[in-house]
């Protein structure tokens, strides 16, 4: 056991040490560590009063808010398992996640609660708690949940090796998989991420990352663990981000590349005083080196890149603040993390520096497995504990890692992982569609965007706008294809499997081409 701390112990220890320090700033609201400690204790007591017991799963489905933070910590303090869900998912996608992990309680907003009312009716959920807005019939308001609850709570007795969190990732089969993370992996990831960037209680941390994403969770947890002041936005907005840094004297920020690109391209960028920043960290997608240089020249502080996975509870490889920041590299291994580059055909064979192979990692960060999916777990984790990343990578002589390519078929758009199978599963259900293959197209802002290549049924008609609108009703916005092209046939293998990497060869077939750029 590397770190004998659990998620529920992060805040209490800091609140005891720094009770009157500002812990959280969200919009125009400010919370001290003492206040946040009391509120999260009341949240835990409210959940327990509803019948939530140790090990029960509680889904958290909302945009960033102070109440989201309270709920996350309160769930851990109640001894339950946290299921943070991407707020961009549709009602259908949420229903799958809630049922798959067996959640007893859903914490969400009024609007989202109405959209998933059937989950209570069919017995999938015991309770729905509404963070904001008027709760629909049968739901409970967050205010009522906390009413008359005590400011102290009995420790749940969580153990570091126990399951703390189930985070769902996009699935290659078209259905997401729930990565099971222990308390140790979540807490260790936060602690070592802070160590790599030498973050201390004197820092003001800023992010607009979604807290439901492991990267956002890491930033939140490390802030409360070390006693930083955590400044967050509900969602990324370029002007709000630029205004927040000087207003709060932010010293460190985390984000995905598109956030930095939008900030750099803002017409008023040069009018904002960003001199308080000592460093900026980026993950989720490769940062264009030229833009990292531009940021350094215009802001005077470096952008440090990282690589991570949901299955690792966050980063596994990072640039360190005190060593050479090599552009194009995602950095060096974090403490307690082991990594090697292996032959794609033989994972037992480790390749030397400079050769490209699959990146595999092992250590206490690694997930416990995929919830209820033993087959996928065995495919991802070798018997000796090495985890397949699926990413093609190489190292240099000094141990710096360079991601060469990403997981087969995966599309990385603005930091979000999108698997073609998820989109294909929806499009193929359209009554006019006979076959569909989804590939990617390069995009200067988002890195990549999904593009659908469709073969229509004989005699059927459809237009690109209609297909895109159909997808919007069933998929999170970032998964919706930005382009649609109708083609007479798709490239397939001898067994009939669509060769997604060959889809781009159809782009030259202008006679059958019909494309639509969807609104971003």
Q: pLDDT tens digit string along 174-224?
A: 688 999 999 999 999 999 999 999 999 999 999 999 999 999 999 999 999
Number of domains in the chain: 2
Say if residues 450 and 413 touch (Cβ distance below 8 Å): yes
Given 391, 426, 446, the domain boundary residue is: 391
Residues 228, 344 share a domain: yes
Per DSSP, which regions of 345-469 are E strands? 346-350, 357-362, 369-370, 387-395, 401-405, 411-413, 416-418, 433-443, 447-456
Tell me, yes or no, whether 518 lies in a domain: no
Beta bridge partners of 304: 281
Residues 316, 458 share a domain: no
pLDDT of res. 171? 58
pLDDT of res. 512? 39
Tell me, yes or no, whether 520 lies in a domain: no
The pLDDT tens digits of the residues spanning 329-373 come to: 999 999 999 999 999 889 999 999 999 889 999 999 999 999 999
CA of 495: how far to CAs of 421, 490, 519, in Å?
A: 18, 13, 37
Residues 375, 453 share a domain: no
Residues 370, 442 share a domain: no
State residue 333 phi and psi, 5-degree precision. -65, 140
Low-confidence ranges of the chain (pLDDT < 70): 1, 170-174, 405-408, 493-497, 508-520
Tell me, yes or no, whether 500 lies in a domain: yes
What is the CATH classification number for the domain harbouring 466? 3.30.300.30
Alpha-helical runs (H) found in 351-419: 374-380
Residues 496, 360 share a domain: no
pLDDT of res. 172? 54
Domain region containing 82? 7-391
Q: What is the pTM of this model?
A: 0.84
Tell me, yes or no, whether 42 lies in a domain: yes
pLDDT of res. 406? 63
Residues 462, 334 share a domain: no
Residues 160, 285 share a domain: yes
Conformational region of residue 227, where left means phi above 0, alpha means psi within -120 to 50, and beta covers everything else: left
| Residue (of 123, 94, 301, 270) closest to 206 by Cα position | 301
CA 349 to chain centre: 31
pLDDT of res. 518? 38
CA-based torsion, 457, 462, 464, 468: positive or negative: negative
Residues 360, 271 share a domain: yes
């Amino acid at each position: 056991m590397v770190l004998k701390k659990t998620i529920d112990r992060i805040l209490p220890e800091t609140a005891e040490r720094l009770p009157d320090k500002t812990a959280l700033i969200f919009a125009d609201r400010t919370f001290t560590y003492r206040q946040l400690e009391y509120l999260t204790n009341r949240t835990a007591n409210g959940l327990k009063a509803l019948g939530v017991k140790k090990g029960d799963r509680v889904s958290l489905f909302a945009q960033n808010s102070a109440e989201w933070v309270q709920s996350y910590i309160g769930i851990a303090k109640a001894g339950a398992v946290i299921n943070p869900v991407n707020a961009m998912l549709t009602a259908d996608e949420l229903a799958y996640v809630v049922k798959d992990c067996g959640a007893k309680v859903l914490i969400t907003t009024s609007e989202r609660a109405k959209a998933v009312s059937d989950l209570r009716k069919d017995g999938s959920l015991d309770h729905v708690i509404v963070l904001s807005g008027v709760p629909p019939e049968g739901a409970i308001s967050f205010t009522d949940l906390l009413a008359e609850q005590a400011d102290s709570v009995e420790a749940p007795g969580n153990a570091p090796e126990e399951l703390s969190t189930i985070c769902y990732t996009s699935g290659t089969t078209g259905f997401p998989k729930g990565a099971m993370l222990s308390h140790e992996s979540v807490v260790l990831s936060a602690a070592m991420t802070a160590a790599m960037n030498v973050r201390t209680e004197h820092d003001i941390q800023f992010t607009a990352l979604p807290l439901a994403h492991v990267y956002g969770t890491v930033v939140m947890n490390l802030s409360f663990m070390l006693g930083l002041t955590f400044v967050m936005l509900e969602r990324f907005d370029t002007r709000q981000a630029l205004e927040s840094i000087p207003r709060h004297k932010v010293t460190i920020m985390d984000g995905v590349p598109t956030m930095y690109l939008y900030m750099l391209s803002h017409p008023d960028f040069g009018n904002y005083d960003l001199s308080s920043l000592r460093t900026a960290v980026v993950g989720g997608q490769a940062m264009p080196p030229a833009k990292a240089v531009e940021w350094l020249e215009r802001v005077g502080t470096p952008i440090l890149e990282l690589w991570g996975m949901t299955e690792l509870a966050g980063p596994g490889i990072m640039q360190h603040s005190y060593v050479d920041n090599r552009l194009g590299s995602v950095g060096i291994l974090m403490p307690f993390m082991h990594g090697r580059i292996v032959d794609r055909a033989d994972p037992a064979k480790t390749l030397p520096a400079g050769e490209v192979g699959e990146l595999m990692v092992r250590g206490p960060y690694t997930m416990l497995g995929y919830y209820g999916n033993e087959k996928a777990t065995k495919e991802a984790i070798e018997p000796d504990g090495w985890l397949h990343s699926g990413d093609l990578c190489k190292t240099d002589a000094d141990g710096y890692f360079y991601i060469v390519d990403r997981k087969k078929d995966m599309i990385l758009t603005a930091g979000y992982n999108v698997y073609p199978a998820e989109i294909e599963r929806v499009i193929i259900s359209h009554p006019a569609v006979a076959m569909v293959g989804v590939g990617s197209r390069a995009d200067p802002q988002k890195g990549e965007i999904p593009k659908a290549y469709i073969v229509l049924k004989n005699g059927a008609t459809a237009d690109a706008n209609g297909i895109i609108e159909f997808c919007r009703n069933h998929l999170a916005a970032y998964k919706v294809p930005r382009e649609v092209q109708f083609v007479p046939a798709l490239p397939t293998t001898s067994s009939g499997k669509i060769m997604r990497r060959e889809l781009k060869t159809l782009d030259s077939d202008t006679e059958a081409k019909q494309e639509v750029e969807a609104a971003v």
